[in-house]
């Protein structure tokens, strides 16, 4: 396999962007767009272990490669983008703005796939930023007030994350005197750089207090966009931790303890906030916060005890694979049922990835959770005793979330007629969704055996995995029988009081100013112009996509020169 195969998965989506934007080539571009991730998937399945490509003339000397971690992330990332793209082809068939959606979808895809292949800090950052900012176009695609509000929050958090990452990467590269990721991960990392990198990638992962964009973006984004946002873009932040933090080489006990506490907090925050939702997509967003907490816990444990990283890394990678497939299948399933109706067949198929997330016996979730739990049990005191009590409760919380999800879908779509004209759309959605459901069930079992696999499949551990779904089912039936309703929590949770506090502060500050200054930055003219400004910004979508296409061409020329 030639070295050019390493750059094709990045360049191909970007080169299709101008095809979908220009009317003369749009039809061909829209036919090609869903297949853009295919080279990445083939690469993950067939590339030799030593695949490497150096481009000295690009950036600071771009290096692309495929190690074991990158291969795993590329596998599930390309697969989810491929099946979500097939779903989007039918979902957006009658959308007048589908060419804009595909432009941002392809650009975000190129960045997401690219970070799996990047082996130097500069290219990793460039591709990560491309993914983050292109995803803004997916969040605001509908143009509704809610979408624009979610887009502002998302963009604010993305810019904050990029600023933290630039500072953290500069400190790390300067201290290690190298920008190659394999050397960076082996070098000691100073406290300030570690904090910046943990927080910067933590925004994408959805660490508590940095997670606020997630429950706002998912309900407004188109269904296939939600699938990739939650399924694989979150994992890009996790991959950033794996690439830049000295996992397995140097201990950072304070940072590790903070990440472990943040992971535990995410598990229970996601469950508590998710149970208080009425919108299935918002519930799934909070479920992602909770599930990413398990992976955050594993990374924190690796920083605390480097000697355990050989056991923790496969467990974290397996969990990432499991969650990417199951969560993407759930998001696409919610959209499909919305146009098909809550028929028993679709609910039964949707229950498979839901049971996997709940960790039901012999599911991918059971395998991922138990292997992570066994590795965490080898930590020094007091962590094993603490986690032995908290992890089963977190598993029960996940099972409760999945039970509530299925009930919400059944309740909301059982008596609602599918939208008019949706039959021809739905016929194009079944196959990509069913393939993703099957992948979420079986692909984990096709992976190379984990060193803890025999212990994870012992009869005792399988029985331990059975009680959370059973108890959650019993509690769900009891709640229905007693007509108990969970309190409603607005999506964004901590963002709501934060914005109210800022509004009050702004109001008080405005009142304290002299009258002649009130009309300046917060006056009525600025407020009156904001809708027109937002309309102009939305109109720049095509220009932004054209800029991305130009960027792709420049990178291709630089690659050729290199």
When divided into structural domains, the chain yields a total of 2
* Residue 153 to residue 237: CA distance in whole angstroms: 18
Whether 171 is covered by a domain: the verdict is: no
What pLDDT, in 10s, does the model give residues 91-136?
A: 988 888 899 999 999 999 999 999 999 999 999 999 999 999 999 9
Provide the mean pLDDT of the chain: 83
Domain boundary, last residue among 435, 460, 493: 493
- 481 and 537 co-located in one domain: no
- 390 and 538 co-located in one domain: no
**Which domain covers residue 471, as residue numbers?**
251-493
Size of the chain, expressed as the number of residues it contains: 562
Q: What is the pLDDT of residue 44?
A: 93
Whether 216 is covered by a domain: the verdict is: no
Q: Is the pLDDT of residue 324 over 80?
A: yes
Whether 325 is covered by a domain: the verdict is: yes
Percent of the chain residues past pLDDT 90, beyond the cut: 50
- 366 and 433 co-located in one domain: yes
More confident residue, 440 or 500: 440
Q: Find the mean pLDDT for residues 203-229.
A: 90
In degrees and rounded to multiples of 5, residue 62 shows phi and psi of -70, 140
Q: What is the pLDDT of residue 343?
A: 79
- 408 and 546 co-located in one domain: no
Q: Find the mean pLDDT for residues 328-338.
A: 92
- 310 and 435 co-located in one domain: yes
Whether 146 is covered by a domain: the verdict is: no
Domain boundary, last residue among 460, 493, 526: 493
Residue 274: strand, helix, or coil: helix
CA 299 to chain CA centroid, nearest Å: 16
Q: In which residue are the tokens 């039959």 written?
A: 423
Q: Is the pLDDT of residue 148 over 50?
A: yes
- 388 and 434 co-located in one domain: yes
Whether 384 is covered by a domain: the verdict is: yes
Q: In which residue are the tokens 């979330």 written?
A: 401
* Residue 125 to residue 127: CA distance in whole angstroms: 6
Whether 241 is covered by a domain: the verdict is: no
C-alpha dihedral, 247 to 250 to 256 to 257, nearest 10°: 150
- 334 and 365 co-located in one domain: yes
Q: What is the pLDDT of residue 540?
A: 40
pLDDT confidence band for 541 (50 / 70 / 90) = very low
Q: What is the pLDDT of residue 183?
A: 86
Burial class for 532, CB neighbours closer than 10 Å (0-12, 13-18, 19+): exposed
Whether 188 is covered by a domain: the verdict is: no
Q: Find the mean pLDDT for residues 69-77.
A: 95
Q: Is the pLDDT of residue 496 over 70?
A: no
Q: Find the mean pLDDT for residues 519-527.
A: 37
Q: Is the pLDDT of residue 543 over 50?
A: no
- 343 and 427 co-located in one domain: yes
- 441 and 480 co-located in one domain: yes
What pLDDT, in 10s, does the model give residues 25-71?
A: 999 999 999 999 999 999 999 988 878 888 887 888 888 999 999 99
pLDDT confidence band for 166 (50 / 70 / 90) = very high
> Which of 55, 166, 200, 159 is closest to 114 using CA atoms?
55
Give me 139's structure tokens. Answer: 């969040």
Give me 445's structure tokens. Answer: 């079992």
- 367 and 500 co-located in one domain: no
Domain boundary, last residue among 446, 477, 493: 493
Give Cβ neighbours of residue 124 (< 8 Å, ≥ 6 apart).
115, 118, 181, 240, 243
In angstroms and rounded to an integer, the radius of gyration of the C-alpha atoms of the chain is 23
> Which of 203, 221, 37, 36 is closest to 128 using CA atoms?
203
CA 263 to chain CA centroid, nearest Å: 16
Give Cβ neighbours of residue 428 (< 8 Å, ≥ 6 apart).
89, 90, 91, 93
Whether 300 is covered by a domain: the verdict is: yes
The model carries a pTM of 0.86
- 431 and 500 co-located in one domain: no
- 269 and 337 co-located in one domain: yes
């Amino acid at each position: 396999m030639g070295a050019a195969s390493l750059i094709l998965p990045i360049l191909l989506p970007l080169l299709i962007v101008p095809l979908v934007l220009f009317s003369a080539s749009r039809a061909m571009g829209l036919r090609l767009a869903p297949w853009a991730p295919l080279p990445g998937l083939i690469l993950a399945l067939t590339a030799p272990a030593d695949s490497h490509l150096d481009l000295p003339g690009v950036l600071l000397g771009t290096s692309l490669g495929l190690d074991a971690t990158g291969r795993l992330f590329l596998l599930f990332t390309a697969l989810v983008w491929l099946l979500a793209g097939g779903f989007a082809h039918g979902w957006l068939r009658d959308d007048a703005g589908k060419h804009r959606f595909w432009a941002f979808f392809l650009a975000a895809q190129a960045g997401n796939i690219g970070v799996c292949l990047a082996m130097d800090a500069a290219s990793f950052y460039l591709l990560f930023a491309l993914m983050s900012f292109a995803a803004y176009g997916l969040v605001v695609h509908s143009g509704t007030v809610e979408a624009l509000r979610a887009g502002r929050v998302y963009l604010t958090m993305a810019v904050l994350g990029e600023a933290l990452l630039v500072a953290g990467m500069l400190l790390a590269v300067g201290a290690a005197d190298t920008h190659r990721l394999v050397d960076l991960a082996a070098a000691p990392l100073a406290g300030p750089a570690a904090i910046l990198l943990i927080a910067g990638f933590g925004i994408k992962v959805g660490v508590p207090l940095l997670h606020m964009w997630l429950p706002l973006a998912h309900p407004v984004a188109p269904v296939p966009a939600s699938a990739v946002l939650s399924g694989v873009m979150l994992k890009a932040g996790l991959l950033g931790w794996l690439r830049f933090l000295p996992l397995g080489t140097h201990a950072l006990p304070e940072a590790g303890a903070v990440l472990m506490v943040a992971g535990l907090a995410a598990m229970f925050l996601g469950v508590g906030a998710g149970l208080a939702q009425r919108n299935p997509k918002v519930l799934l967003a909070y479920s992602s916060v909770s599930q990413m907490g398990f992976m955050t816990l594993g990374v924190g444990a690796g920083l605390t005890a480097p000697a355990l990283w050989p056991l923790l890394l496969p467990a974290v990678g397996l969990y990432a694979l499991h969650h990417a497939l199951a969560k993407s299948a759930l998001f696409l399933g919610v959209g499909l049922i919305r146009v098909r109706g809550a028929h028993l067949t679709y609910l039964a198929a949707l229950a498979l990835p839901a049971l996997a997330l709940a960790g039901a016996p012999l599911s991918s979730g059971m395998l991922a959770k138990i292997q992570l739990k066994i590795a965490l049990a080898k930590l020094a005191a007091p962590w094993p005793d603490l986690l032995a009590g908290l992890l089963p409760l977190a598993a029960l919380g996940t099972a409760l979330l999945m039970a509530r999800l299925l009930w919400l879908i059944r309740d909301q779509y059982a008596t609602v007629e599918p939208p008019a004209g949706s039959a021809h759309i739905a016929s194009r959605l079944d196959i990509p969704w069913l393939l993703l459901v099957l992948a979420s069930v079986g692909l984990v079992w096709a992976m190379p055996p984990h060193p803890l696999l025999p212990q994870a499949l012992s009869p005792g551990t399988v029985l331990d995995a059975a009680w959370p779904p059973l108890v959650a089912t019993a509690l769900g039936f009891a709640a229905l029988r007693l007509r108990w309703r969970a309190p409603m929590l607005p999506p964004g949770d901590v963002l709501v009081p934060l914005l109210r506090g800022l509004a009050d502060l702004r109001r008080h500050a405005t009142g304290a100013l002299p009258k002649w200054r009130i009309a300046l930055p917060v006056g009525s003219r600025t407020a009156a112009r904001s809708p027109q400004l937002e309309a102009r910004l939305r109109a720049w979508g095509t220009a932004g996509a054209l800029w991305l296409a130009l960027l792709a061409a420049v990178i291709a020329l630089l690659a050729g020169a290199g």
